[in-house]
Structure formats: C-alpha cells, structure tokens
Amino acid sequence: MRSIEEIRNKPGTCLVLGNYRPGIQAILDFDHLCGKEAPSIKAIVTAGTKFQKYFWGKGEVLIPCFPTMLAAADAIESVEWMFNINSGRRARQTTIEFFDAFPSALGGHIFAEDVPEKHAIELYERYQKKGKTLVGTAGVGLLVPGYLKLGVVGGADWRQLEKNNLKESGSVAVLSASGGMINEIITMVASTSHGISFALCFGGDRFPLTSPKDAFLAAQDDSQTKHIVYYGELGGYDEYELVELMKSGAVSKPVICYISGVIGEAFDEPVQFGHAKALAGNKSETASAKRAALTEAGAIVAHSMKEFSERIAGIEKDELKEEAMSLDGRSASLFTSTISKETENGYEFAGSSLPDWAHEGDIALQICSALLGKHPQSQITVDFIRTVFLLSVDHGPQVSGALNTIVTARAGKNLVDSLAAGLMTIGPRFGGAVSGAANEWLSGVTEAKDPAEHIESYAKVKKYIAGIGHKKYRVGLEDPRTAILAKFSNRLPNHRYYDYAKAIEAITTTKKGSLILNVDGTIAALMLDILESEEHYSHQELKELVDADFFNALFVIPRIVGFTAHYLDQKRLDEGLFRLPDDDVLLG
C-alpha cells in the first residue's frame, strides 16, 4: 500500500461513488476541522441531481453530481481517491469504471459488505497488487489525521472527530478487522492523551483488499508511528503472518493487541460470528491460539477489553494541541442561489459587486454572466448576446405580446399586470421557438441526422420545424436581422449547428420560398456554436440549457423592454379602453 508519509505530503482529492450523506458529511467535517481551504470531495457520481448541498463548517457548499463516471471524468481533470459506497453487487464494476476513468488515481475505500469473494480477489489482483491502495471491503476506511479521511473511520459526527483530536498526527497506529471496534479503539487512544498516526480498517471479509500484513508494514515504515494497536478476531491466518513479521524483525515497533472470539471455543462445533472470516475452522484459527502465537512473537496481548484499554493508556503520551472547534448551531438553508448575495461590502450579482458592474458599464456582459452563471470566456459571446438583444427588443405593436400589453394598459391596469399579459403570450407560435430550434439543431448534429430525412420526418406528421419559416421575409427578401447575425459565423472556428440549420433551409426553401431560416432559428444555431466553440460547453451541458429554456431567455429579456415601452406609450397617449369594432368580429 501507499506509504502514510506520501499521503501526508499529498493527501489529494476524492470522488464519491454512490450516495451516503452521513459518510460524505463526515469527510467534509474532517476537512474543515483540519483547516483545509476546500473540501477534499470534488464530486459525487449519483443520479437524479446536479448538486448536493452539505455543511462546510457553519456554512454550506454545493458538491457537483454526475450521473455517470464518464460524465464525471469529462468535468474533473483528476482525483486521487475513491470512496465507493455502492452495494456489494455493484462494487466491482464501479471500482473498475473509476480506475478506467482516472487511471492515475492512488486508490480508495470500498464500504460495502457482501462483495462476492471472487470480485474482491479480482480487485486485489487488478489494482492492489499493482500499486494502488484499496481499503475494504466490509470496513469503514482509512484515516490519516490532519490529511485524509476515506469513510466513516474515526466517526460520522463532527463532535466525535473533534473529541478524538483527529486534526493532527500522533504516534499510535490503530488497525482493526472490525469497523465497529476501530472507532471504539480510536476513542480509547484519544481519551488517554494519545494521538493517532493513522487508522485503517481492513474489514471482516475473507479476502480484504488491504491485509493486516500490509497495514503493519505501512506502520513500520511510517516515521510518526511509534506504537501499533491491533484488534483481530478468530478465524483465518492473518495473525500468523504478523507473527512472522515480528519474529523476522520486519516489524520492530511495539504491538499491543487483542484477539476477540475466545467464547467460540466454548461450543462443541465452530460458531460463525458476525464477519465472514470470524469462524475458527480448526484449533490454530481460535482466538486463544492466535493470542499465544502473538505473545511468543513479542506482542503485548490483552486478555480482556479492560486490559486492552489499560495497556493502551500505558503508552507514552503525545503532546497534542488543545484547540477545540465547535460546529454547533448550524442549520440547512431553505434554498440555494449562486447568482447573487449580500456581503459586508454590498450586493454582488453574477460574480461581481454592483459598483464593479457599474464601473464596467456593459449591461450585455452583466446579463451574459447572469444567464451563464459565470463570466463568459469569449468576447464573441457577449457581442452576440448584445446584438441579439438590440435586434429583439421590439417587432412592432401588431404582434401578440405587444398587442396584449397595449390592450391591458388601455384597460387601466398597471405596469406589472400589462407586462405579464404580454409575456403570457410567448410560446411556440410567438417568440418561444428559440429553445425549440436549439433542440432541433442540437439533436440533428449530435445524432448525425440527414437534413432531408429530418425534414421528411416532420412532413409526415404535418408539423412545422422550429426556427424555419417567416410570414414577411422569403427567398429574395432577406430578413435584415438574420443577415446581421449571420456575420458571427465568420468569427467562429467551427459553426456546425449553423451549417446544419442552413442545410435544412436549403431544402425547405425549394418547397416554399417563405420557409427560410428565421431569426429564432438563427439565434439558436449560432448560440449553440458560440457556447460550444467559445465557452467549451459539452453536449450534455448544451442539452441541459435547452431543457432549461435558456435559449428562449434571449427573446424574453429584450422583449420585456419593448413591452414596457408600449405600456408607457399607452399611458402617455391615454386613449382609453380598447374595444374591437363589431365589423371586425364575425358574429355567428
């Protein structure tokens, strides 16, 4: 296994596989109590959510979630450790997926019980035997105080972590087959003014991924470890390997141990205890035989838990800092916002203070940052959104949104009511086609659809293609807005979505001259290209924007200004209630 000193020098970061809130929160609390600037957990591989909210100190932090290992690998450059809390049935496959996605990772902890023995052996041969550090299965993990916590070893509650002084390294290595007992032993050590150098639970399965022998050699090689405290059980032959290490001098540090299960010798037939390995099939596997062998090899062997505790208390004490930290009083927030907040220095919006935005003087940059949730990487993105807003602010009083705003204003309603009336008309037939068009071009390109087949699939069901067609403009009568927007394609290194949309147009206009690529379709195509080539969005991220109706926001935001202008215009004119003349209504 990897040396403990190497872990202290570079503890690294962790990817969680599965969902176990107490275990994840325990690692974050450990990180914070140790004074780390950021959580060691980079992300969680779990379905159903994009983020999970956890406490970070007395505040909160969002941990990104990914539905698959490949999605996590696309978003995260590297991680060193894995905390695998999937079921025993899925432990092998998810561990393989992790190392396939992150081949330079150092190792990890597999929490699950009931991992098939052949899977445990395969994982040992495939990874542990070739230099990775895997801990488990059916254990609670690895702990290097002040540096790394993989699993619930050391405790799941911050009070236990604090009480056991796991913020700094001590001199006692705690090694155990039992997940339940290792935390009890850590508390024994800490309560008698001793510190932990590291703690490792190799679990109670027949074929642990890190054996007691591996752990003892790691303790021997660790310069901070002065004593080894070991808790073993009846069953198996691990302790005889430890005896050989001590007799040969490979392990020379003092060992205090307790081997549980003497009660099993009172039965006529072998008794299976809680762990898979805890079964003495013959006399040499009994607790008494192991105790005798360890005593002969020079270990201090306790014959009761009381004596075990007293032996631990007799170890030379460590000089530890007495710095208590409390996380009392924290409570979860009701909702999360990453867009704005109030600070001691005023309000922040989209990553900058409002005075800074005022100094910047570019509302297009501000709105672009707000829509993306981060500052854009390219000036092209800002320029495009600014141009879209300038071209989309109003398309005349006749269109349904403006007309509804006008009618409502003339009925004597206020600004908000009139504006809401106009906005409520936005949909697939008016202004709401930008997201629909983005979905057309995104699916068409990523699924490599043939444009002709794409068109035919709509023709068969007599449906319109979003982003295609205009009432006024046609072939030979170009929409000046699309002409301006089209120039952005010349500024992009790649514009495959725009090319696809133009390929659709090349076919539809042969059927009817008015079936041109309209302004909605143009905005959608070029925005996809800009996000992909300039902002480096993945396909999954683009799909999420489509599903979130991001592209329609490019119409809604500027049109709010236009509707407001129509409302104020009507208040200035004060023409009174609008009523359609009888001649304009067909009365049946």
Per-residue H/E/C for 11-61: CCCEEEECCCHHHHHHHHHHHHHCCCCCCCEEEEECCCCCEEEEEECCEEE
- C-alpha distance across the termini of the chain, in Å: 87
77-94 core/surface letters (b: 16 or more CB in 10 A; e: else): eebbbbbbbbebebbbeb
Reported for 260-263, long-range contacts at CB under 8 A and 24+ positions apart, including other chains, are 260/178, 260/181, 260/231, 260/232, 260/233, 260/234, 260/287, 261/233, 261/234, 261/235, 261/286, 261/287, 262/234, 262/286, 262/287, 262/288
Residue 55: CB partners within 8 Å, gap ≥ 6? 25, 28, 29, 61, 327, 330, 332
**Among candidate residues 145, 40, 125, the one with its CA nearest the CA of residue 82:** 40
Residue 454: which residues within 8 A CB-CB, separation 6 or more? 440, 444, 465, 504
Maximal C-alpha separation, the chain? 112
CA–CA separation, 381 and 535 (whole Å): 8
């009568």: which residue's tokens? 477
Give the HSE-up count for residue 514: Cα atoms under 13 Å, Cβ half-sphere. 6
Active-site annotation, residues: 275
Residue 40, Cα to own-chain centre: how many angstroms?
12
Number of separate helices (H) and strands (E) present in the chain: 23, 17
